[in-house]
Structure 1
Amino acid sequence: MSKYDQIRDIIKNNNGYLFISDGENAGISRTYLLQYVRDNNLEHVSKGVYVTEDTWPDMLYVIQRSNPKIIFNDETALFLNRLMEREYTEINVSVPSGHNGSRLRERGVVVHQEKDGIYGLGVCELETNYRNKVKAYNTERCICDLIRNRSTYEVQTFQTAIKSYMKKKNKDLSLMLSYAEKLKVKEEVMKYVEVLT
């Protein structure tokens, strides 16, 4: 198999994306990879990331691949969980305590550092609008965070998310309450559960 065929396979396996790091991990030199990029008119979307002409850039996927420790949270997670009617206004992520988020902040990403025991609580894999998989908090964790930080949300966003969650057939209230206990918002979450069920 030629190096160009290898690169094509990498792009195919990544839904139209070429991550230079993937090529290098496969033993292909950066010079050769960049020659392929030029020869095939790949579009530069981020440092070390290119897409084919027929691929729409998916910034959530690009950010996730470039920063494996991030977990999408707040409005971004609400959107990915289909608990919001509109798209998020800014990208929100959680990182472990002590993680340097300066590069993410430079890109306009809102970074929340979380302590051990809270970071990763309720993480799941969700599809973006472009069918790429990213890590985000699940619906139960989203609702806990929503109630915990309700003053930072628009009233409409808050109400829509709560109502959308309560209408879900596969909601897990006991799981949500276990998260609420760890996040120290069990009483507040219980009030909403009692009113809406």
Structure 2
Amino acid sequence: MSQQDKVIAYLNKNGGQITSKEADSMNISSRVLRNMYAHGQLERLAPGVYIDPLELGDDIAALQYRLSKGVFFKDTALFLFGMIDRTPSTYEMNFPLPYAYSTKIDAPIKIYRQKKELYEIGIISTKTPGGHLVKAYDVERTLCDILRTRDRSDAETIKQAMNSYARLKGKNMRKLMEYARTFKVEDEIRKYMEVLL
């Protein structure tokens, strides 16, 4: 099997996406990817991230590849969990302080930075609508994040997210209250949960 055939086989089983790093781990030369790109057999989604031109690009996965320390946050996390019914117009990502990120990002993204000990709370892996794994905060952490006073989410988003959580089968109230104490939104969380549960 030629290196190009290996790329095509990988695209078929990986939702139409391949990174330079993945190609390298399969002993596929980066020259093959560049060549396929030059001949219109691949499109470049981001530096080192290629997609099958017939596939719709997965913006969220591309951002994760480019900003590997970033964790999807607030409304973007709610969208990934299916807790709000609209695609965010701006993706929100959180980074540990003093992380410096490139300002040459052409995606609609809002960057937050937090002390490392807060940044690390509740990070999990979840799938994008395109089927790629990305990092996001768990549901309980996300509910606390959308209630915090600075850059708070809008009232409609909060209401929809709280209602979705109330109907959620695997909810963890103990974890939610623990996070609420840490992020100083305990009273608000309690008010919502008393009405909904």
TM-score, scaled to structure 1: 0.87
3-state DSSP of counterpart to 1:130: coil
Alignment partner, residue 171 of structure 1: 171
Asked whether the equivalents of residues 180 and 189 of structure 2 are also in contact (C-alpha less than 8 Å), the reply is yes
Pairwise CA RMSD? 2.2
3-state DSSP of counterpart to 2:112: strand
- Tell me the amino acid that sits aligned with residue 137 of structure 2: Y
Describe how 1:67-146 pairs up with structure 2 within 5 A.
Answer: 67-103=67-103, 107-146=107-146
Structure 2: runs of 5 or more not aligned: none
Structure 1: runs of 5 or more not aligned: none
- Structure 1 residues 80-89 or 182-191, which shifts more? 182-191
For residue 43 of structure 1, report the CA deviation from its aligned partner. 1.7
- Tell me the amino acid that sits aligned with residue 122 of structure 1: G
Distance in 1, matches of 2:136 and 2:71, equals 5
Distance in 2, matches of 1:151 and 1:119, equals 16
3-state DSSP of counterpart to 2:88: coil
Deviations 1:62-100 (A, max 9, x none): 111222211101110011111112111210001111111
Aligned residues: 197
- Structure 1 residues 184-193 or 132-141, which shifts more? 184-193
Asked whether the equivalents of residues 150 and 158 of structure 1 are also in contact (C-alpha less than 8 Å), the reply is no
Share of identical aligned residues, percent?
28
For residue 22 of structure 1, report the CA deviation from its aligned partner. 2.7
- Tell me the amino acid that sits aligned with residue 163 of structure 2: K
Distance in 1, matches of 2:37 and 2:120, equals 36
Asked whether the equivalents of residues 95 and 111 of structure 2 are also in contact (C-alpha less than 8 Å), the reply is yes
Alignment partner, residue 161 of structure 2: 161
Alignment partner, residue 63 of structure 1: 63
3-state DSSP of counterpart to 2:184: coil
Alignment partner, residue 16 of structure 1: 16
Deviations 1:94-143 (A, max 9, x none): 11111112347553311111112211311222221112221111111111
For residue 144 of structure 1, report the CA deviation from its aligned partner. 0.8
- Structure 1 residues 67-76 or 185-194, which shifts more? 185-194
- Tell me the amino acid that sits aligned with residue 188 of structure 2: E
- Structure 1 residues 4-13 or 82-91, which shifts more? 4-13
Distance in 1, matches of 2:174 and 2:98, equals 31
- Structure 1 residues 183-192 or 164-173, which shifts more? 183-192
- Tell me the amino acid that sits aligned with residue 175 of structure 1: K
TM-score, scaled to structure 2: 0.87
